[in-house]
């Protein structure tokens, strides 16, 4: 049976070049980058080269890139590190009600430490209420944390407007952008957008799992989460994951070199899928229309069919989709994102996410639509019984 993988927002296949590089480092150039001998210097070179490649894609300096074990650690480092470093200036943090758990749970913990966390509302398609955001800006705001692309519905946050408002109203506040679903899909230049802290996960862009990075503007001082030998300028101690970092560097380079054509291809797939879904009965599509939304994510509710039932029915045909965010799928509660946009209870229980990479094809989209056309009447009839 042919495999059709439409769960790329959860994870992606590692690119052959990234995998080969990681394997070479694990088996040949396996020195500790803190060692002073030749093997150590070679290992350090991989870390340095990956930082430069990533920095070039963001138009920042390599010394502003810090490697982590993934997006969750990067988000936690940015949020806890910034909040605790700037707590004397104020205690207010602004965010949205549709953040990834790696941000939402960290902010919940910070609220327990006495920080005031305010969630800015969004409309029914996931657009940030910029007027409400501007009203909340005050001298006590020390940090704003908002994802660039929502991981469930692909809603895009107006980063440039957020940065502009912060600069004019709260010039001392820090702007953290979770770019885990945006990096490799859009050109992102933090210094132009006013972003101080930006976080990325390697396995979302064909890099190895267990890798990620934090961009930190060199003028920003934040507190470490991990203490030890003082690696990475003391911000993230511990021996670097050199094989993973080297693989991540390759994946970042590939993403940067082919960004426009990859993005255009994914938009074409998204538009093709949405057109087909609109032909099916009782389907509600969530998120921003057209190219307002991210190129790789389509979220749709198939009214009358449980999301997991449809997920496994498609899986039986070799088609892999998600019944919610991979990082929160173990939780019973409904999606905070769908709740924030005002989705009905029936939509909450029947929403499925399709997410693409540049490796997917139009033929795969058509095959998925054919499968849905056959499955939906059967599953709805079964439920009515």
pLDDT tens sequence across 77-129: 999 999 999 999 999 999 999 999 999 999 999 999 999 999 999 999 999 99
Check 303, 327, 348, 371 and give the catalytic one: 327
Whether the CB-CB separation of 305 and 383 falls below 8 Å is answered with yes
Q: Which of 257, 292, 319 is the last residue of a domain?
A: 257
pLDDT tens sequence across 170-210: 999 999 999 999 999 999 999 999 999 999 999 999 999 99
CA dist 381 and 293 (Å) reads 33
In this structure, the answer to whether residues 309 and 372 fall within a common structural domain is yes
In this structure, the answer to whether residues 63 and 150 fall within a common structural domain is yes
Cα R_g (the chain), whole angstroms: 21
Average pLDDT over every residue of 251-272: 97
The fraction of the chain above a pLDDT of 70, given in percent, is: 96
Q: Specify the pLDDT at position 381.
A: 85
Q: Specify the pLDDT at position 330.
A: 47
In this structure, the answer to whether residues 219 and 321 fall within a common structural domain is no
Number of structural domains found in the chain = 2
Whether the CB-CB separation of 296 and 272 falls below 8 Å is answered with no
CA dist 76 and 353 (Å) reads 26
Q: Specify the pLDDT at position 334.
A: 74
Give the chain's end-to-end CA distance (angstroms, integer): 30
In this structure, the answer to whether residues 208 and 82 fall within a common structural domain is yes
Whose structure tokens read 């693989």?
247
Whether the CB-CB separation of 172 and 40 falls below 8 Å is answered with no
Q: What is the pTM of this model?
A: 0.95
Q: Specify the pLDDT at position 324.
A: 66
In this structure, the answer to whether residues 156 and 100 fall within a common structural domain is yes
pLDDT tens sequence across 320-343: 999 965 555 445 457 999 999 999
Among the listed residues 69, 79, 137, 133, the one whose alpha carbon sits nearest the alpha carbon of residue 104:
79
Q: Which of 257, 290, 308 is the last residue of a domain?
A: 257
In this structure, the answer to whether residues 308 and 195 fall within a common structural domain is no
Whether the CB-CB separation of 216 and 235 falls below 8 Å is answered with yes
Among the listed residues 269, 297, 10, the one whose alpha carbon sits nearest the alpha carbon of residue 155:
297
Residue 278 lies in domain: 4-12+259-384
In this structure, the answer to whether residues 211 and 285 fall within a common structural domain is no
Average pLDDT over every residue of 341-359: 97
Q: Which of 225, 257, 289 is the last residue of a domain?
A: 257
In this structure, the answer to whether residues 182 and 198 fall within a common structural domain is yes
CA dist 231 and 32 (Å) reads 12
What does the H/E/C string look like for the chain?
CCCEECECCCCCCCCHHHHHHHHHHHHCCCCCCCCCCHHHHHHHHHHHHHHHHHHHHHCCCHHHEEEECCHHHHHHHHHHHHHHHCCCCCCEEEEECCCCHHHHHHHHHHHHCCCEEEEECECCCCCECHHHHHHHCCCCEEEEEEECECCCCCCECCHHHHHHHHHHHCCCCEEEEECCCCECCECCCHHHHCCCEEEEEHHHCCCCCCCEEEEECCCCCCCCCECCCCCHHHCECCCCCHHHHHHHHHHHHHHHHCHHHHHHHHHHHHHHHHHHHHCCCCEEEECCCHHHCCCCEEEEEECCCCHHHHHHHHHCCCEECECCCHHHCCCCCCCHHHHHCCCCHHHHHHEEEEECCCCCCHHHHHHHHHHHHHHHHHHHHHHHC
In this structure, the answer to whether residues 218 and 331 fall within a common structural domain is no
Whether the CB-CB separation of 191 and 160 falls below 8 Å is answered with no
In this structure, the answer to whether residues 373 and 328 fall within a common structural domain is yes
In this structure, the answer to whether residues 203 and 349 fall within a common structural domain is no
In this structure, the answer to whether residues 211 and 316 fall within a common structural domain is no
CA dist 163 and 280 (Å) reads 40
CATH at residue 338: 3.90.1150.10
> Is-catalytic flag, 170?
no
Mean per-residue pLDDT over the chain, rounded: 95
Structure confidence at residue 311 as a pLDDT band (50, 70, 90): very high
């Amino acid at each position: 049976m042919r495999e059709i993988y439409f769960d790329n927002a959860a994870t992606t296949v590692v690119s052959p070049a990234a995998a080969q590089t990681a394997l070479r480092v694990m088996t040949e150039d396996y020195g500790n980058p803190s060692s002073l001998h030749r093997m150590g210097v070679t290992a350090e070179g991989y870390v340095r080269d990956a930082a430069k490649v990533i920095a070039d894609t963001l138009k920042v300096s390599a010394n502003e890139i810090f490697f982590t074990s993934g997006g969750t650690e990067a988000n936690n480092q940015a949020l806890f590190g910034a909040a605790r470093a700037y707590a004397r200036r104020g205690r207010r943090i602004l965010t949205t009600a549709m953040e990834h758990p790696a941000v939402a749970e960290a902010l919940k913990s910070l609220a327990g430490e006495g920080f005031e966390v305010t969630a800015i509302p969004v409309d029914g398609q996931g657009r940030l209420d910029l007027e409400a955001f501007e009203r909340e800006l005050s001298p006590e705001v020390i940090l704003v944390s908002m994802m660039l692309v929502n991981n469930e519905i692909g809603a895009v946050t107006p980063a440039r407007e957020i940065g502009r408002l912060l600069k004019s109203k709260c010039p001392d506040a820090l702007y953290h952008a979770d770019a885990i679903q945006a990096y490799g899909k859009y050109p992102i230049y933090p210094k132009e957008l006013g972003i101080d802290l930006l976080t990325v996960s390697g396995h979302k862009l064909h890099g190895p799992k267990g890798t990620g990075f934090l961009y930190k503007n060199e003028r920003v001082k934040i507190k470490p989460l991990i203490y030890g030998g003082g690696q990475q300028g003391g911000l993230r101690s511990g021996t670097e994951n050199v094989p993973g970092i080297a693989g991540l560097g390759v994946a970042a380079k590939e993403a940067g070199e082919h960004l426009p054509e990859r993005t255009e291809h994914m938009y074409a797939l998204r538009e093709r899928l949405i057109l087909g879904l609109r032909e099916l009965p009782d389907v509600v599509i969530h998120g921003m229309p057209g190219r307002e939304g991210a190129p790789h994510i389509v979220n749709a509710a198939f009214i009358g069919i449980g999301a997991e039932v449809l997920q496994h029915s498609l899986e039986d045909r070799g088609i892999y989709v998600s019944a919610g965010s991979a990082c929160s799928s173990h939780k019973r509660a409904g999606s905070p994102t769908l709740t924030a946009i005002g989705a009905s209870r029936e939509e909450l229980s029947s929403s499925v996410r399709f997410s693409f990479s540049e490796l997917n094809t139009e033929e795969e989209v058509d095959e998925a639509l054919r499968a849905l056309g056959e499955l939906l009447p059967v599953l709805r009839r079964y439920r009515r019984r």
